[in-house]
Amino acid sequence: MNIVLLGAPGAGKGTQAEKLVAEFGLCHISTGDILRAAVKNETELGLKAKAYMDAGDLVPDDLIIDLMRERIQQPDTEKGVILDGFPRTTTQAVALDAMLKDLERPLDAALLVDVEPEVIVGRLTSRRMCKACGHIGTAANGPVCTECGGEMYQRDDDNETTVRNRLEVYATSTAPLIDYYKGCDLLVTVDGDRDPDVVYADVKAKLQK
């Protein structure tokens, strides 16, 4: 199964991807995670991407499309992929269509985790992530990862000013993809403003239809 995850920053894309990977062993590709690793390791890509990410703006399409063209050809993607945070613009969506056509792998669904913007700011300013295993949690869980005992940290872009800009960028550049995938008859929507396990049950039910 090949799935695109759509949804505003903080909608719960990473949280639902973690559950899908645990149950179905799909390959999770998060462009945000790849970019954060590149920034941390000070690679050429990371050095180019950092300022955009810190401001909550999108990294230019050409950098992301080159990155994904290479990543999606790796052997671990053959069992199916969850694309989390890509595509994020219509240009990226058109490029993804071409990549999948070349690989003869159709997209099965574009899954929209739907959450109203007012819920998001609180979620993201209290998000914490594990340095060791990448688990996504919240400040309320304390400084130690509930999955592996690693150290939890706050993402640089999870401050209120940057979160508000990310929401604006989402509305302008990424939300139009909802209509794009509706037009391809691939859009599946779940209400993301419920307990994560309830959201996940709905995700599974709708993907297995």
- Binding site: residue ranges? 10-15, 31, 36, 57-59, 85-88, 92, 127, 155, 166, 194
Q: Which is nearer to Mg ion, 106 or 122 (CB)?
A: 122
State the binding partner of 15 from ligand AP5, Mg ion, none, CB within 5 to 8 A by kind: ligand AP5
Binding region for ligand AP5 (CB under 6 A) out of 8-16, 40-48, 71-79, 142-150: 8-16
The answer to whether residue 127 is catalytic is yes
> Side-chain half-sphere of 163: how many Cα atoms within 13 Å?
19
Task: Tell the residue number behind the tokens 């799935």, with chain if given.
Answer: 3
Q: Which of residues 141-170 bind ligand AP5 (CB under 6 A)?
A: 157, 166
User: Is position 134 an interface residue for ligand AP5 (rule: CB under 6 A)?
Assistant: no
Smallest distance from ligand AP5 to CB 9, Å: 3
Neighbours of 152 (CB within 10 A): 21
**Which member of 50, 71, 127, 128 is catalytic?**
127
User: Which bin fits 77, alpha (ψ -120 to 50), beta or left (φ > 0)?
Assistant: alpha
Closest CA to 37 of 71, 9, 3: 71
**Nearest Cα to 85, choosing from 28, 147, 164, 149?**
28
- Beta carbons of 114 and 7 less than 8 angstroms apart: yes
Q: Does 12 bind ligand AP5 (CB under 6 A)?
A: yes
Binding string, residues 44-83; x marks residues near ligand AP5 by CB under 6 A: --------xx--xxxx----x-------------------
Stretch that binds ligand AP5, among 13-21, 103-111, 144-152, 201-209 (CB under 6 A): 13-21
Residue of 89, 65, 109 lying closest to 174 (CA atoms): 89
Annotated binding site for ATP: 10-15, 127, 194
Residue with tokens 């599974």: 204
199 binds, among ligand AP5, Mg ion, none (CB under 5 to 8 A by kind): ligand AP5
95, containing H or E segment: helix 90-103
What do you get for the CA distance between the two ends of the chain, in Å?
13
Active site residue 128: no
DSSP state of 134: -
Task: From 31-39, 71-79, 146-154, 180-188, give the range in contact with ligand AP5 by CB under 6 A.
Answer: 31-39
Catalytic residue among 13, 50, 71, 128: 13
